[in-house]
Amino acid sequence: MAAFDTGPSAETRARLTLAHRPRRNRKSDWARRLVRETRLSVDDLIWPVFLVEGVGRRDAVASMPGVFRYSLDRAVEAIEEAASLGVPAVALFPNTDTALRDERGSAAFDPENLVCRACRALKSAVPHIGVITDVALDPYTSHGHDGVLIGDEIVNDESVAALVAQALNQARAGADVIAPSDMMDGRIGAIRAALDAEGLDAVQIMSYAAKYASSFYGPFREAVGSDKTLRGDKRTYQMDPANSDEALREVALDLEQGADMVMVKPGLPYLDIVRRVVETFHAPTFAYQVSGEYAMIEAAAANGWLDGERAMMESLVAFKRAGAAGVLTYFAPRAAAALRRG
């Protein structure tokens, strides 16, 4: 059998005549760093933190490996550590005891509820970190919905009145940013007017302006304890995942009503929405890398199917590449530590 012909040697092989060889800019680490278009920094990270009553608690969330529910004392410790890594802000989400949940979400208006106590504790212990609070009734209602349920309907205007009261309660406790995640019509304008009327005009509003009725929220609902209480679904107020133009209408309304920042949720499956919002409005636009996204990366990494840290960082860069000003991500402390390591 004749030997396989490998062709001319490297010395005699004809060279392609190319004016452009893009690989030249990828040939080494220093070259790749020089031409890098998108950069992720710790300043882009917001850490969602789950809270639970008690002392000394750090309860694992089963569906989110590496994520915990913290009692206030442990939350302060964890957030101090995140702040030392440069994380600029945290977003607080309570797991409210079932005994405190009712049809109206009354605990949301209690100035001694878990979130309000956390705001005061953090403003005292870690005053240089931003505190973002979620405005929605689902952690407090016995039915698991974000608004007021009358019969089988989530009623809009009554819900807005309740959300205004919740927002004022959180702002009085020291929240820096009010983040309505409920998707009721008109709630941004009502909250802005109420804050301003009470002299809380410095409090910012980060609106969940384009929040979709997504299947990626399951682990979050376990973390806040609404997975077993939710009656039905949230499709009458959260957006249809098939819609894109609708997101622009929602964002436009929230900005007109006084939102300082807007958010798209979920994150990676909706990067097209992030890009459209940024290019249309040129307003500070954030994305939420939600619990299901986090859980998928962690599960694949645990099975050895991908490199978890590289996937984490790549996913966060994707948000910046799409134009997001920042990302709410459960990876925030780990990503901040990785960025510090370089």
Where is 16: in which H helix or E strand?
none
Instruction: Measure the CA–CA gap between 221 and 65, rounded to whole angstroms.
Output: 15
- The answer on whether 250 is annotated among ligand-binding residues is yes
Q: Who contacts 40 (Cβ-Cβ below 8 Å, separation ≥6)?
A: 313, 316, 317, 320, 335, 339
Which residue in 291, 275, 335, 341 sits closest to 311, CA to CA? 335
The one catalytic residue in 27, 123, 265, 320 is 265
Q: Is 320 a catalytic residue?
A: no
- How far CA 180 is from CA of 96, 99, 219, in Å, comes to 18, 24, 20
In angstroms, how far is the first alpha carbon of the chain from the final one?
A: 54
The one catalytic residue in 27, 123, 211, 228 is 211
Q: Is 265 a catalytic residue?
A: yes
CB of 82 closer than 8 Å to CB of 333 = yes
The vertex-129 CA angle with 204 and 42, nearest 5°, equals 100
CB of 126 closer than 8 Å to CB of 83 = yes
Q: Is 203 exposed, middle or buried (0-12, 13-18, 19+ CB in 10 A)?
A: buried
Give rounded-to-5 percent helix, strand, coil for the chain. Answer: 45, 20, 40
**Helix, strand or coil for residue 310?**
helix
Q: 294-330 burial, b if ≥16 CB within 10 A, otherwise e?
A: bbebbeebeeeeeebbebbbebbbbbbebbbbbbbbb
Q: Enter the tokens of residue 307.
A: 């490199």
Where is 309: in which H helix or E strand?
helix 308-322
**H-only helix segments in 21-155:** 29-35, 72-84, 114-125
Which amino acids are annotated as binding site for Mg(2+), given as ranges?
Answer: 250
* Catalytically active residues, by annotation: 211, 265
Which amino acids are annotated as binding site, given as ranges?
Answer: 250
